[in-house]
Amino acid sequence: MKLPKGFAQMPVKTLFMSALNSTAVLVTRTGNRMRRRKLSFADAHAALDYCLVRRAAFVLVPANPDLNLN
């Protein structure tokens, strides 16, 4: 199986944040293990800045998700 170009540079960190909450969860992958850590931000823009500096992926969940879309 051929890996995609740039696979080694893919982020090993992902920050999950809800638009309603200022607390986010940072998930870090090391090998086959995953670790999570809570972080607090002033708003979603501060969380995005954090991710840009630390080369992490950013997942923002809407404030009022429609559960019928799942």
- pLDDT tens by residue, 14-69: 999 988 888 999 999 887 888 999 999 999 999 999 999 998 999 998 877 666 65
8/5 Cα distance (integer angstroms):
8
**pTM (predicted TM-score):** 0.75
Band of the pLDDT at 11, cuts 50, 70, 90? low
CB neighbours (10 Å) of residue 26? 19
